[in-house]
Amino acid sequence: MAQAEIHEVLPVDCDKLFAAIISYEEYPKYVDGVTGIKVERKGAGQARVTYNVSMMKDVTYTLDHKEDQALGTIEWTLVESDFFKANKGIWKLKSVGAGKTDVTYKIEVEFKIPVPGLILNRLIKGSLPSMLKCFENRAKKI
């Protein structure tokens, strides 16, 4: 299983960043590689989301999300995919002053097909800084 983590302090309001992250249906507009989203809300603090993503090939997968704004966490687990065996992770957000948020993003994935280490590192670790920047930019517009 491949794992990656990124930790940064972003110059953006914590509540706005949380709102940007849980606005799944907006991802195709500003998250690189996301080509389509289908959101099925099951209740407050929960969402089931099907992602269409272009990452060397077109991939579709469904995740269950658990959102807790009071704790500043958004967790997800894989429901189904033709590409992933596992996909789970967490966002941890904490306000660290006016307009600043301490952000930790962790992900663990396992693929159904063998993926060479170089490609795996590029897909998982290499894309995290740009993904974080996408969410930072979106939160600034909220």
Structure tokens at 34: 């996301």
Helices (H), 26-126: 27-30, 117-124
Each residue's pLDDT expressed in tens, for the chain with a length of 142 residues: 778 889 999 999 999 999 999 999 999 999 988 999 999 877 789 999 999 998 778 999 999 999 999 999 999 999 999 889 999 999 999 999 899 999 999 999 888 877 766 666 666 666 788 889 999 999 999 8
Complete domains list, the chain, with CATH: 2-141 (3.30.530.20)
Nearest to 76 by CA among 2, 134, 22, 4: 22
Q: Is the dihedral of CA 67, 84, 61, 54 positive or negative?
A: positive
